[in-house]
Amino acid sequence: MTTRSALITVMTAAAQKAGRALTRDFGEVEHLQVSRKGPSDFVSAADHKAEKVAREHLARVRPRYGFLMEESGASAGADTSNRWIVDPLDGTTNFLHGIPHFAVSIALERDGELVAGVVYNPITDELYWAEKGQGAYLNGRRLRVSARKAMAVSLFATGIPFAGRRDHELFLRQLAQVMAVSAGVRRFGAAALDLAYLAAGRYDGFWETGLQPWDMAAGIVLVREAGGFVSDLDGRPTMMASGDILAANESLHDSLGQLLRACR
């Protein structure tokens, strides 16, 4: 069994506590689907509750660290070098519709560099974690990105722009191009889990635009530590600022990027 560092132990405990809160609330979603009011307000409350649980644990163990959180935003800590980046419920729409594919995502940013990440799916009890220089793991099993070199046998994941988002036409061009040369494209609605699956070799590549830092921070660490490459769609390391991400194994990263850029 791989020994986790004190840092990863703190992060996994926070993710699992938040995950347990989500699991309890998820059991109520199916009943709320038939109510007139609908489950939206309930899910929003569940999201805030999970964030509160994660924040309280992290703040108790590392009281000087700052936070960047989906629901409560950014808050500086006395230790300006370290900041937690937390998405308490990645895959909110899945949760809202009773689909058991969502996760808690927690990353640590130190002096502007992502150094550790945890992604936890409480329904499957899959805990993905990684620390800079220490590798990536699923529970206790070491992860490596896939070794596939040809796009024709590769499976890709993406996120589809929803109502109110721009670039629908661009996405459709990208999707058509990737579908035409690959073994398929999947859209499961949780970017943190898409990146975790890529780190585990389940997907061979992933791209999406318009993400927030908390959607991708932990997943970036996972992919890098599993031997993958992560950039924006232009091959630059500006994913956290731009919101656009392209991740794949070494053999496919450039070819996937070229294909996507040609669609502009």
- CATH number of the domain that 103 lies in? 3.30.540.10
Per-residue pLDDT, 29: 74
Q: Which amino acid is at 93?
A: T
Q: What is the CA radius of gyration of the chain?
A: 18
| pLDDT surpasses 60 at 92 | yes
| pLDDT surpasses 80 at 103 | yes
Q: What is the CATH number of the domain that holds 184?
A: 3.40.190.80
Per-residue pLDDT, 36: 44
If asked whether residues 192 and 92 sit together in one domain, one would say: no
Domain extent, residue 40, equals: 6-142
Tell me if 197 sits within 8 A of 215, measured CB to CB.
no
| pLDDT surpasses 50 at 190 | yes
Per-residue pLDDT, 119: 98
- Give the chain's mean pLDDT: 93
Non-local (6+) Cβ contacts of 220 within 8 A are 107, 114, 117, 195, 230, 239, 240, 245, 247
Per-residue pLDDT, 34: 44
Per-residue pLDDT, 93: 87
> Measured between alpha carbons, how far is 78 from 66 in angstroms, rounded to an integer?
7
Can you tell me the mean pLDDT for 144-163? 93
If asked whether residues 220 and 240 sit together in one domain, one would say: yes
If asked whether residues 100 and 179 sit together in one domain, one would say: no
CA distances (Å), 240 to each of 111, 209, 219, 237, in order? 14, 11, 12, 8
Residue 35 banded pLDDT, cuts 50, 70, 90: very low
Say which range, 89-98, 145-154, 197-206, has the weakest mean pLDDT.
89-98
The DSSP secondary structure of 194-252, one letter per residue, reads HHHHHHTTS-SEEEESS--HHHHHHHHHHHHHTT-EEE-TTS-S-HHHH--EEEE-TTT
Q: What percent of the chain has a predicted confidence (pLDDT) above 90?
A: 81
If asked whether residues 115 and 204 sit together in one domain, one would say: no
| pLDDT surpasses 50 at 37 | no
Q: What is the pTM of this model?
A: 0.94
**Domain's final residue, options 110, 142, 174:** 142
If asked whether residues 129 and 221 sit together in one domain, one would say: no
If asked whether residues 47 and 132 sit together in one domain, one would say: yes
Per-residue pLDDT, 45: 84
Q: Does any domain span residue 173?
A: yes
| pLDDT surpasses 60 at 33 | no
Q: Which amino acid is at 136?
A: A
Q: Does any domain span residue 28?
A: yes
B/e letters for 241-251, b = 16+ CB within 10 Å, e = fewer, are ebbbbbbbbeb
CA distances (Å), 38 to each of 28, 63, 70, 89, in order? 12, 38, 23, 19
Can you tell me the mean pLDDT for 44-62? 94
Say which range, 27-31, 68-72, 107-111, 253-257, has the weakest mean pLDDT.
27-31
Strand 245-248 to strand 229-231: parallel, antiparallel, or no bridges (unpaired)? antiparallel
If asked whether residues 178 and 255 sit together in one domain, one would say: yes
| pLDDT surpasses 70 at 4 | yes
If one counts the domains in the chain, the total is 2
**Domain's final residue, options 90, 122, 142:** 142
**Domain's final residue, options 120, 142, 164:** 142
Per-residue pLDDT, 69: 95
Can you tell me the mean pLDDT for 152-168? 85
Strand partners, 261: none
Q: How many CB atoms lie within 10 A of CB 234?
A: 12
Can you tell me the mean pLDDT for 216-229? 98
Can you tell me the mean pLDDT for 163-189? 90
* Structure-token match 């596939």, residue found: 148
If asked whether residues 121 and 223 sit together in one domain, one would say: no
Per-residue pLDDT, 2: 75
Q: Does any domain span residue 1?
A: no
